[in-house]
Amino acid sequence: MTRVLVAPDKFKGSLTADEVARAVVRGLTSEVPDVDVRALPVADGGDGTLAAAVAAGFERVPVTATGPTGTPVDGAYGRRGDTAVVEMADVSGLSRLPGGRLAPLTATSRGTGELISAALADGARRVVVGIGGSACTDGGAGMLQALGARLLDADDREIGPGGEELGRLSRVDLDGLQPVLSRAEVVVACDVDNPLTGPSGAAAVYGPQKGADEDQVGLLDRNLGRLADRVAAATGRDVRNSPGAGAAGGVGFAAMAVLGATLRPGIDLMLDLLDFATHLRDVDLVVVAEGSLDEQTLHGKAPVGVARMAREAGAEVVAVCGRTTLTGEQLRGAGIDAVYALADVEPDPDRSMAHAGELLERVSAELARRHLTPRGRR
């Protein structure tokens, strides 16, 4: 009997990775009731990272933390042994902005630091931080403050939250940084190589997505440079131009410069964390999934990372998606043998998103007919 592993990412704005997995499994079993199928939702370090870790056996540990605008939010981290998984988007993400109102100058990463602090206090000695989907451009200043660093103005007073406040920064004092950080490993899931500042930096490239206009982008870029100067003075090293320093509004910079973090491609890190190779043993068919299979997918997104490992293990790889703009050649180059898109069943994007679950079941049933039945395999 064919053994199937369903390893989807989320359909952003429509279904979580777990909901996608359950819909695909329902579709497969509606056509082949006795199919040997397992589900393992995945993520690439952005939204859904915590959920993927929990689905793989991590314990969800609730934490109340500071949201991007200062309002407390109910967040969590994942724990398994001495390893913790922190998802920045869970507390410092765009989805946590009250009413969806963007706050380009004042949004803070403090809540992410609070999650890391809680995990360390709970005994974690390896902290994996997924930093996609952030709402802030504060250079990781809020995160550092939550971990004991003091960011001081000319009067030795702590500066406030957000990238705008970095313009008042005079000195960075790391004496109060939590000592346990020196004994812990921090690994950041990061899929971009932007430096902290300049035309390819955090403010210029990602600031507009977070609501910054042209003048605010210039202000934030200058302030991030000021932060880098003060951090270099405190640490003796300058990593502002390191690839990934500009990730998540500069959180990548703070993590490397002060926490000693290493940056790894998000999907590679997550697949290692989920012990994905073990789940691939004796699997014949792997079903990957993402809302949109497009050019971005080819640059380190979850379906391609999963497909690469699956092909190395000798499994066939089939994708389900909301839509795809990739050519057959591009898909084959990514290790994907066939694609089943909701758009082929329901071309209206709004209706497709509104009924994504039932449409996924339909295309997954078709997938089963073609790949899991003797007639389909002929």
List, for residues 45-66, the tens digit of each pLDDT value.
888 999 999 999 999 999 999 9
Residue 64's DSSP bridge partners are: 74
Spell 169-190 as b/e; 16+ CB within 10 A means b: beebeeeebbeebeebbbbbbb
Boundaries of every domain in the chain: 3-42+275-377, 49-267
Model pLDDT, residue 225: 98
Burial class (CB in 10 A: 0-12, 13-18, 19+), 198: middle
Rounded to an integer, what distance in angstroms lies between the CA atom of residue 158 and that of residue 111?
Answer: 17
- DSSP H stretches of helix in 236-281: 251-257, 266-273, 276-279
Helix (H, G, I), strand (E, B) or coil at 229: helix
Find all residues with CB under 8 Å of 316, minimum gap 6, and list them.
284, 285, 286, 310, 337, 371
Model pLDDT, residue 376: 60
CB 353 within 8 A of CB 359: no
Spell 215-239 as b/e; 16+ CB within 10 A means b: ebbebbbebbbbbbebbeebeeebb
Beta strands in 269-375 (DSSP E): 285-293, 316-324, 338-341
Q: Are strands 338-341 and 316-324 parallel, antiparallel or unpaired?
A: parallel
Which homologous superfamily does the CATH classification assign to the domain defined by 3-42+275-377? Glycerate kinase; domain 1 (3.40.50.10350)
Model pLDDT, residue 365: 97
Burial class (CB in 10 A: 0-12, 13-18, 19+), 2: middle
Which homologous superfamily does the CATH classification assign to the domain defined by 49-267? Glycerate kinase, domain 2 (3.90.1510.10)
Return the structure tokens found at 199.
């035309």
Residue 333: other Cβ atoms inside 10 A: 12
Model pLDDT, residue 347: 95
CB 288 within 8 A of CB 321: no
**Which helix (H) or strand (E) is 143 found in, with range?**
helix 141-146
**What sign does the dihedral 308-303-241-159 (CA atoms) show?**
negative
Return the structure tokens found at 371.
């790949």
Model pLDDT, residue 13: 87
Closest listed residue to residue 44, CA positions, set 307, 282, 261: 307
| Positions in the chain short of pLDDT 50 | 378
CA atoms lying within 13 Å on the CB side of residue 314: 6
Record the pTM.
0.92
Burial class (CB in 10 A: 0-12, 13-18, 19+), 13: exposed
Model pLDDT, residue 377: 57
CB 352 within 8 A of CB 342: yes
CB 45 within 8 A of CB 131: yes
Model pLDDT, residue 327: 95
